[in-house]
A and B are shown apart, each in its own frame.
Chain A
Amino acid sequence: MKKKSPSLLKTLGKIVLVIGIVIVYAYGLQVTKVDLEKPQEAKRQEQLTNILQGLAHPDLITYEIDRISAEARILVPCTGTPPPEIPAEPGQPAIKLSSNCAEPGEAITVSGTGFNPNENVFIFFVPYSADPAAAVELKLTGNAVPTDSDGNFSKEVTLRKDRTSDKPQTVRVVVNRRVGSPKPSEALKQTWEKIVETVFLAFIATTLGVTLAVPISFLAARNLMLQVTSTLTKFMASLIIMPIGALLGYSIVSRLTEFGSQFPNGNAEAVLLFTAAPLVGLAVVQSAGGKNTFFKALGRWFIGVAIAAVAVVVLAKIGSVGRETGISLKHSLGGWSFVGNFILIFSDVILLGLPALGALLGAFAFSPISNRILEATVPRMSALTSKIVAVVLSVLAGAIVFGVIAATLNWFYEFGDVAQVVRTPATIGAVLFAALALAIDVNHPIPTGMFVYYVFRTIMNTLRSIEPLVMVVAFAVWVGIGPFAGVMALGLHTIVALGKLYSEQVENIATGPIEAITATGANRLQTIIYAVIPQIVPPYIAFTLYRWDINVRMSTIIGFGGGGGIGFLLSQNINLLKYRQASVNMIAIAIVVASLDYLSAKVREKIT
């Protein structure tokens, strides 16, 4: 008995499990509305047949059509002298009617001779019209009438009841004959155009994605960011300085860009202000500083800023000249206008990118200075003073961080006046950060890199879960329906998806070389260049190709969401029930995806 009870329990458990599984499936089938009756309905089967037949007959080629017709006169209704027969021209098809005069709705027999054997003819009734050009053709038969092996046919047709006239009317037999060699159909031409667009959509999106995913992958790699530590004081100072630096960088570079693009028409004072000021600063620092490393570093920082300012002005000039050149070339080069377009886009990227870059550089340019100042001063302070400095900086940083977050949320949800809304969160942030500064040892390094790591990981994981097909809807609203929206959506998804895959590769590298390069006195950038990058090149290439494959597939359907490319054409054709044209699109997709898959597999073999 003792042995039996556990096995009985087990059996019971299994039964419950089976019942549970059955319930899950039963519910699942109901929810997904699986219905085996519907596909059997005759109407639906007919629809399916239509689609499949359309798909089986891709509209690939067309012929020029020669339209040959033969006519006979008839009087409807039969109220006067029947019109004379039209004499047959030798060698041309001719038709005869069983009667040259008939009542509306009466059946007559149309017989024809001199046609080609086994071709299809169509029989039309052409009502009388004073203007022969305005005459319409009305079908007398639903389907085409085949001729026999001698090129003759005979067919009984019923005249229409609603077309009566006292003038002679016409029965016309038409045959459409293909002449000349086959030509690509309109659908094929469109498909070719769109498939080129599709491949380039994938190409640009992949390039864009890879370019941005590489730097992001370093920021999202745990092993690299774990090494980035800083004291609380320095971190707080950076938090304060970064948004200010970003704003400063943005506004300075915006002005420089404007100045550069108008050069030499801008005012000369700006030249002095932006280029000479740092040089003067440098001279002062050099003469006062002597051998002091801090002043030397400050001097180098000034040189860097001056060089950057000159570079911005030059780039802005290049951008504005390029922009004008691009626009004029775009209109004058005809078939080569894409060259002008390229110059235009490239110049726009420079002009739009410079202020953004300025903001980015500004955000990071001032932290080294604050770090140096703190490194030089904090160790000499007493414990109390350094604590006070840390708390003051933390209060400011907390207020700024929480204030910025609150302002962003306010932008989304429009709570009310920014100054009002921001006040409470900023106070809370100040208190929280102050508490943090009071609680921990302010001179002990804290893992600030992990903060960056978690921010990037969270953003990437969130965006990665949104399919590009969904993202493209938002982009289509922003930049309009078309391939550009597709590029943006695919590009963004590529950044976040590849960023994660890349960063995992960085996390998997051997740590020994990093340790060895660090031990030589290399800084972090040098360690990445000499110890990390050589190790990650092969996996990065492999993942880039993998993503390229995905992007090619995605670009073929991104058009369903408004993203341009072949998918847009395909969705249109399906919606318009043009299945033969849709079939061409699908064949093209299959060919492109399969051949690019094959190609990238070959490349992968070569490089690994």
Chain B
Amino acid sequence: MLEIKNITKIYDNTVLALNDVSFTVPQGQFLAVVGLSGSGKSTLLRCINRLIEPTSGQVILDGIDITAAQPDELRRIRRRIGMIFQHFNLVLRSPVITNVLAGRLGYTNPAWSLINRFSKDDIAMALKQLDRVGIKEKAYVRADELSGGQQQRVGIARALMQEPSIMLADEPVASLDPVLAHSIMQYLEQLRDEGITVICSLHFLDLVQRYADRAIALKDGNIVFDGSPSEIDEHRFKEIYGEEAQRIG
């Protein structure tokens, strides 16, 4: 269970990105986070694994206070939290397999990393994960030779190497066409079915309504909606996105 308690993030003492946000996610839920660009979705996701330090508040994962963790403990916690990104964030000049194996770094002795060495088990696991996302044959090509959809699959494989109990997805399909978007969302859905909590920020409401168990809407750093995706009707939509907004997709 992931508990977000009164998280506030203020950038540079001036910009309020998150304002006293609290919610609880039970293990194995598919939670969609929606809202306008700049509403605080990315900040919220990054506060969970502390890629961004929250200004105040607590994030508690299965009873462990992430926000209070010291560097070493934080790294151990991060291993349990996979993350995929809108721009995939692969190391483009490295081969696909290295990108995937990087997901294992939290478990690897840093001394071995100095000479770029992973255990046989890790390599076998990386190939298995690539097989799972359907691009095993691309394992030894450079990451920049892959298409956008393939790169996001590498991103998923990398996150799965961590054997996570939570998957954070920061607009994972915003750079992809609708067909690819669905295929990526289906992988996330599979993860949910395997018991992994998925917290995914999304732009398109039809994706939210099709895949998510629950939706949270952010507006100017405040939660303005928390409930079943099907409850987001025309009226709620205008509350979240403003009176001028038109639904697309």
Provide the bound-state CA to CA distance between A481 and B204, in Å: 73
Provide the bound-state CA to CA distance between A375 and B74, in Å: 12
Contact of A515 with B75 in the complex, beta carbons under 8 Å:
no
B:160-197 near A, CB below 8 Å: 161-162, 168
Provide the bound-state CA to CA distance between A228 and B31, in Å: 32
Provide the bound-state CA to CA distance between A516 and B106, in Å: 12
Contact of B113 with A515 in the complex, beta carbons under 8 Å:
no
| Chain A nearest CB, measured from B140 CB (Å) | 15
Contact pick for B49, options A375, A513, A519, CB 8 Å: A519
Query: Quick one: closest A residue to B95, CB to CB?
Result: A534
Contact of B91 with A534 in the complex, beta carbons under 8 Å:
yes
Provide the bound-state CA to CA distance between A530 and B82, in Å: 17
Contact pick for B94, options A515, A522, A534, CB 8 Å: A534
| Chain A nearest CB, measured from B92 CB (Å) | 8
Contact of B51 with A512 in the complex, beta carbons under 8 Å:
no
Provide the bound-state CA to CA distance between A377 and B129, in Å: 41
Give every chain A residue within 8 A of B102 (Cβ-Cβ): 516-517, 520, 522, 530-531
Contact pick for A516, options B71, B75, B89, B107, CB 8 Å: B89
Contact of B110 with A523 in the complex, beta carbons under 8 Å:
yes
Contact of B79 with A535 in the complex, beta carbons under 8 Å:
no
Contact pick for A523, options B75, B77, B83, CB 8 Å: B75
Contact of A526 with B90 in the complex, beta carbons under 8 Å:
no
- Does B76 sit within 8 A of A, measured CB to CB? yes
Contact of B85 with A517 in the complex, beta carbons under 8 Å:
no
Contact of A526 with B110 in the complex, beta carbons under 8 Å:
yes
Contact of A530 with B83 in the complex, beta carbons under 8 Å:
no
Range of interface residues on B (Cβ < 8 Å): 35 or more
Give every chain B residue within 8 A of A525 (Cβ-Cβ): 110, 113-114
Provide the bound-state CA to CA distance between A183 and B110, in Å: 62
- Residue interface mask A537-554, B partner, CB < 8 A = 1: 110000000000000000
Provide the bound-state CA to CA distance between A580 and B168, in Å: 75
A:333-380 near B, CB below 8 Å: 375, 379
- Does B220 sit within 8 A of A, measured CB to CB? no
Which of B51, B70, B77, B104 has the most chain A CB atoms inside 10 A of its CB? B70
Contact of A521 with B79 in the complex, beta carbons under 8 Å:
yes
- Residue interface mask A159-200, B partner, CB < 8 A = 1: 000000000000000000000000000000000000000000
- Chain A binding surface SS class: helix
Provide the bound-state CA to CA distance between A17 and B78, in Å: 64
Contact of A530 with B75 in the complex, beta carbons under 8 Å:
no
Contact of B106 with A520 in the complex, beta carbons under 8 Å:
yes
Query: Quick one: closest A residue to B155, CB to CB?
Result: A516
- Does B53 sit within 8 A of A, measured CB to CB? yes
B:73-126 near A, CB below 8 Å: 75-79, 81-83, 85, 87-94, 98, 102-108, 110, 113-114, 116
Provide the bound-state CA to CA distance between A535 and B93, in Å: 7
Range of interface residues on A (Cβ < 8 Å): 20 to 34
Given A520-B106, A535-B93, do A530 and B51 touch, yes or no (CB 8 Å)? no
- Residue interface mask A132-152, B partner, CB < 8 A = 1: 000000000000000000000
Query: Quick one: closest A residue to B113, CB to CB?
Result: A526
Query: Quick one: closest B residue to A530, CB to CB?
Result: B102
| Chain A nearest CB, measured from B131 CB (Å) | 20
Contact of B85 with A512 in the complex, beta carbons under 8 Å:
yes
Provide the bound-state CA to CA distance between A526 and B79, in Å: 14
Contact pick for A518, options B51, B91, B92, B103, CB 8 Å: B51
Provide the bound-state CA to CA distance between A521 and B103, in Å: 8
Query: Quick one: closest A residue to B98, CB to CB?
Result: A530
- Does A105 sit within 8 A of B, measured CB to CB? no
Query: Quick one: closest A residue to B49, CB to CB?
Result: A519
Contact pick for A537, options B70, B93, B162, CB 8 Å: B93
- Does B214 sit within 8 A of A, measured CB to CB? no
Contact of A516 with B116 in the complex, beta carbons under 8 Å:
no
- Does B141 sit within 8 A of A, measured CB to CB? no
Contact of B108 with A526 in the complex, beta carbons under 8 Å:
yes
Contact of A512 with B89 in the complex, beta carbons under 8 Å:
yes
- Does B224 sit within 8 A of A, measured CB to CB? no
Give every chain A residue within 8 A of B87 (Cβ-Cβ): 512
- Does B64 sit within 8 A of A, measured CB to CB? no
- Does A477 sit within 8 A of B, measured CB to CB? no
Give every chain B residue within 8 A of A379 (Cβ-Cβ): 68, 70
- Does B41 sit within 8 A of A, measured CB to CB? no
- Does B158 sit within 8 A of A, measured CB to CB? yes
Given A523-B75, A531-B91, do A516 and B53 touch, yes or no (CB 8 Å)? no
Provide the bound-state CA to CA distance between A517 and B90, in Å: 9
- Does A529 sit within 8 A of B, measured CB to CB? yes
Provide the bound-state CA to CA distance between A338 and B75, in Å: 51
Give every chain A residue within 8 A of B90 (Cβ-Cβ): 513, 516
Query: Quick one: closest A residue to B90, CB to CB?
Result: A513
| Chain A nearest CB, measured from B98 CB (Å) | 7
Contact pick for A513, options B72, B89, B107, B159, CB 8 Å: B89
| Chain B nearest CB, measured from A45 CB (Å) | 61
Query: Quick one: closest A residue to B93, CB to CB?
Result: A534
Provide the bound-state CA to CA distance between A589 and B72, in Å: 56
Residues on B close to A: CB < 8 A? 49, 51, 53, 68, 70-72, 75-79, 81-83, 85, 87-94, 98, 102-108, 110, 113-114, 116, 155, 158-159, 161-162, 168
The 8 A-B pairs at the shortest CB distance, nearest first, are namely A521-B106, A512-B89, A522-B105, A516-B89, A521-B78, A521-B79, A375-B70, A519-B83
A-B contact pairs, 10 of them (CB 8 A): A515-B89, A516-B85, A519-B51, A519-B83, A520-B78, A520-B105, A522-B75, A523-B110, A530-B94, A531-B102
Q: Known A-B contacts: A516-B155, A530-B102. Give 19 more (CB < 8 A).
A: A379-B68, A512-B89, A513-B91, A513-B92, A518-B78, A519-B49, A519-B83, A520-B105, A521-B76, A521-B79, A521-B105, A521-B106, A522-B105, A523-B105, A525-B113, A530-B91, A530-B94, A530-B113, A538-B93
